[in-house]
């Protein structure tokens, strides 16, 4: 399994962009990088995933380093509803491994 | 939008009793998973299931646990003789396909809170 490192917490103001980093230096060349988030008292929620090139969807953007050893989840305009724990997880044969994640606090 | 559903939302049971947690995965999904989260701790993988067989399981998933797809829609997790330490949130998830590239996302249900007294 690839090991991941994320900051314990980050803060943002509403309407501002947020960049959430993740180091996954042991990732294999063919593992996708997945990001999930967990809102309070809810199950994990899929956010985005990618392999090599940057990815965009309606929730976020994912910037993947050229060497694939790190990635950054970008929330373009944070809202109060984005306050959650964010996890990056390269699945290993489908098994997601959730570390401690990054607790994102969004201030009004 | 299709979603994974789980029942019950909260289950209270006495130590030593059997419990069955139920999940209805998204209808066209082929892989199913159970995870658990003890209060205040991280989400942990328990088991994955495909084609009526366990694909992978963690060390947590011992002989007390079993999974089944009894019909075309339900996916269940059974704990035969519950222990106090089984108290946790149990999340079911499903995905369209799981290949080596792990290129498909997993969709999680809202969870069942299991309380063992």
Say yes or no to pLDDT of B114 above 70: yes
For A87-97, write each residue's pLDDT tens digit. Answer: 998 877 778 88
Q: State the burial class of residue A71 (Cβ atoms within 10 Å of its Cβ: 0-12, 13-18, 19+).
A: buried
Q: How are beta strands B10-13 and B31-37 bridged, if at all?
A: unpaired
Chain A residue numbers touching B108 (CB-CB < 8 A): 43-46
Chain A residue numbers touching B100 (CB-CB < 8 A): 30, 93
CB contact under 8 A, A96 and B98: no
- For the beta sheet containing B65-68, the strands, ordered from the edge strand earlier in sequence to the opposite edge, are B5-7, B19-24, B75-79, B65-68
Q: pLDDT-derived band of residue B102, with 50, 70 and 90 as boundaries?
A: low
DSSP type of residue A5 = B
Of A100 and B92, the one with more pLDDT: B92
Say yes or no to pLDDT of B40 above 70: yes
CB contact under 8 A, B103 and A34: no
**Residues A6-25 as b or e (16 or more Cβ within 10 Å = b):** beeebebeeeeebebbbbbe
Write down the pLDDT at residue B103.
Answer: 73
Say yes or no to pLDDT of A28 above 80: no
What's the whole-number average pLDDT of chain B? 93
Total beta-carbon pairs less than 8 A apart between chain A and chain B: 72
Of B105 and A104, the one with more pLDDT: A104
Chain A residue numbers touching B107 (CB-CB < 8 A): 46
Is residue B10 within 8 Å of B117, Cβ to Cβ? no
For A40-87, write each residue's pLDDT tens digit. Answer: 889 999 999 998 889 999 999 999 999 989 999 999 999 999 999 999
């Amino acid at each position: 399994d690839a090991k991941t490192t994320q900051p314990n917490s980050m803060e943002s103001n509403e309407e501002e962009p947020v960049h959430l980093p993740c180091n996954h230096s042991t990732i294999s060349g063919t593992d996708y990088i997945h990001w999930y988030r967990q809102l309070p008292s809810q199950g994990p929620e899929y956010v985005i995933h990618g392999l090599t090139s940057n990815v965009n969807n309606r929730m976020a953007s994912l910037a993947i380093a050229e060497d694939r050893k790190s990635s950054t989840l970008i929330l373009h305009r944070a809202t109060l509803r984005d306050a959650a724990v964010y996890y990056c997880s390269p699945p290993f044969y489908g098994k997601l491994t959730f570390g401690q994640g990054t607790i994102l606090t969004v201030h009004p | 939008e299709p979603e994974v559903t789980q029942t019950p939302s909260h289950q209270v049971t006495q130590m030593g009793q059997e419990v069955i947690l139920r999940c209805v995965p998204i209808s066209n999904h082929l892989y199913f998973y159970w995870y658990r989260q003890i209060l205040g701790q991280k989400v942990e993988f328990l088991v994955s299931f495909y084609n009526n067989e366990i694909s992978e399981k963690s060390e947590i998933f011992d002989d007390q646990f079993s999974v089944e797809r009894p019909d075309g829609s339900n996916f269940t997790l059974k704990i035969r003789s519950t222990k106090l330490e089984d108290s946790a949130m149990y999340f079911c998830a499903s995905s369209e396909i799981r290949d080596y590239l792990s290129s498909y996302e997993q969709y999680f249900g809202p969870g069942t809170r299991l309380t063992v007294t």
